[in-house]
Amino acid sequence: MNTDEIIRKLEQLNIFSSELDIPEVQRREMANQVVDYTNTFINGLNKTKGYEKKEIGNLAIQKNKSSLTGLLNKYQKEVAESGINAASPKHLGYIPGGGVFTAALADFIAAVTNPFASAYFASPGAATIENEVINWLKSVFSFPPNSVGNLSSGGSISTLIAFTAARDKYKIKNELITKTVVYLSEQAHHSAQKALRIIGLEDVIIRYIPLDINHRIIPKKLHELIETDKSYGLNPFLIIATAGTTDTGTIDPLNDIADVAEMHKLWYHIDGAYGGFFILTSHKDLFLGIQRADSLIIDPHKGLFLPYGVGAVLVKDANAVLHSNYYTANYMQDGHNEELLSSPANLSPELTKHFRGLRVWLPLQLHGIEPFISCLEEKLLLIAYFRNKLYEIGFCLGPEPDLSVSYFWYPFETDADEKNKQLMNEIHKDGSVFLSSSIINNQFVIRIAILAFRTKKETIDEAVEMIARCLKIVLQSNKQ
């Protein structure tokens, strides 16, 4: 193709290709429209249900162009108004989300400016923000300055990074795998076993550590299991403790478990995905020993109420993390002289990624830490309030939780599991507040998890009213 022809074709293509770079007037108009939409959404949160089950319409990508107004309407109907409303104060199931508004603003800025936060040489400022968030986390959890960390998409990927480092440090491979033992509680989150499978450790031996009546690991039993395994010539490797279990809100005795891990020289991992940030509250004593972990995961998209998509991992041994994640490539040679540990990509399976640091950094700078702590303290009081209220109307309660998750059931005289299931169904049908269920000690129970920053006393009152209303329906239907 000759140069004139190239120029002519480029001019033709530009008519369409330049449409992606929209002019300022339109940028402002669209941004305003989106802000108006989100304002309406937030203003409606107290009036809308926590859960709505419905059929989803056509969301396939269309050949013809659509207007933003049309698409926002569709979004509202098909996405915002269906399923669990995770931005709502009324999300009290699983582990509630959040969606702090200032984090959304940070995401907007990050997406528009689009710095390459994974490599220090590409964006020293963005990489530094990522690293300062990690530094802040190290100080919150009293991890030493020479430990490393990474901002991931969430707890599951954080666990993957931690376990891979553990695997490589302890050289768990080949025939050693089937002799290797991992110790955990049956209340440990399923992402732990999923991570083991993904990193090629599916065939390790899993030992469930006996728990006390509060669902806490019994350190002495853990010690005994390890001793027995050693006497059989097995290879004890990894202990997983949880600082805030998903089902029961329990914190394992972290410091006593650290003693056991240290004595036997095992890798000690703590899962603080749900509960970690409660270390900032009046319950901080329960976290004693957390700094002794070899690896720790925490989820800012849970305990800091940020929008989904930001987790964090801290690991003491930098070399163990570098072993699996640090790679060089010819096309990246321009960055070689920069500091190894300043580039997040060297500590993560991800290379290119969303600049997540900003959505943690900006809200913390704008609001300060105090409002976050107050929100967490509120949740601790609200769970106590909820339990008192439910007890008053005849429910049985699980043990007093360490944090803001608890479970309960109604003591129906016969077929209690079946009828509590029925009660759960009624609650989902009602949907004014969303709760979820679980099986604990072979019993069907209903769970409440209070973590959304917008959840206040009024929400809990509404939940109790709803539960009482649904109980009435179940009791009535079983009379006939």
Ligand X SMILES: *Cc1c(COP(=O)(O)O)cnc(C)c1O
Q: How many CA atoms lie within 13 A of 325 on its CB side?
A: 29
Min separation Cβ 465 and ligand X, Å: 28
Sequential DSSP letters for 152-184:
ESSHHHHHHHHHHHHHHHTT--GGGGGGEEEEE
Q: How many CB atoms neighbour CB 465 within 10 A?
A: 13
Question: Residue 304 is which amino acid?
Answer: L
DSSP tag of 240: E
The whole-angstrom separation of Cα 438 and Cα 248 is 10
- What are 304's two structure tokens? 């800091």
Min separation Cβ 470 and ligand X, Å: 26
* Strand 148-152 versus strand 180-184 pairing type: unpaired
Question: Residue 140 is which amino acid?
Answer: V
Q: Which is nearer to ligand X, 189 or 419 (CB)?
A: 189
Min separation Cβ 435 and ligand X, Å: 16
Q: Which residues pair with 254 in a beta bridge?
A: none
Which residues sit at the interface with ligand X, rule CB under 6 A? 95, 154-156, 189, 191, 242, 246, 271, 273-274, 299, 311
> CA of 344: how far to CAs of 307, 326, 455, in Å?
21, 10, 34
Min separation Cβ 175 and ligand X, Å: 30
Helix or strand (DSSP H, E) at 437: strand 436-440
- What are 283's two structure tokens? 């319950």
Q: Which is nearer to ligand X, 191 or 437 (CB)?
A: 191
Q: Which is nearer to ligand X, 240 or 474 (CB)?
A: 240
* Closest residue to bound ligand X by CB: 155
Sequential DSSP letters for 35-79:
HHHHHHHHHTTTTS-SEE-------PPPSS---HHHHHHHHIIII
Q: Which is nearer to ligand X, 41 or 274 (CB)?
A: 274
Q: Which is nearer to ligand X, 199 or 273 (CB)?
A: 273
Q: Which long-range contacts (CB under 8 A, 24 or more apart) does 456-463 make?
A: 456/89, 456/378, 456/382, 457/382, 457/385, 459/89, 459/90, 459/92, 459/433, 460/382, 460/385, 460/386, 460/389, 461/389, 462/90, 462/432, 462/433, 463/90, 463/92, 463/386, 463/433, 463/435
Min separation Cβ 166 and ligand X, Å: 16
Min separation Cβ 85 and ligand X, Å: 18
Q: Which is nearer to ligand X, 123 or 191 (CB)?
A: 191
Q: Which is nearer to ligand X, 261 or 298 (CB)?
A: 298
Min separation Cβ 347 and ligand X, Å: 18
Q: By the 8 A CB rule, do 276 and 242 touch?
A: no
Q: Which is nearer to ligand X, 98 or 154 (CB)?
A: 154
Cα 405 versus chain centre, distance: 15
Min separation Cβ 57 and ligand X, Å: 28
Min separation Cβ 398 and ligand X, Å: 17
Q: Which is nearer to ligand X, 86 or 181 (CB)?
A: 86
Q: By the 8 A CB rule, do 474 and 419 touch?
A: yes
DSSP tag of 209: P
Torsion sign, CA atoms 193, 97, 142, 375: negative
- What are 204's two structure tokens? 């390790």
Min separation Cβ 288 and ligand X, Å: 19
Min separation Cβ 290 and ligand X, Å: 14
Q: Which is nearer to ligand X, 271 or 402 (CB)?
A: 271
Q: Which is nearer to ligand X, 156 or 343 (CB)?
A: 156
Min separation Cβ 246 and ligand X, Å: 4
Min separation Cβ 143 and ligand X, Å: 19
Q: Which is nearer to ligand X, 118 or 404 (CB)?
A: 404
* Strand 267-272 versus strand 235-242 pairing type: parallel
Q: Which is nearer to ligand X, 72 or 201 (CB)?
A: 201
Cα 397 versus chain centre, distance: 26
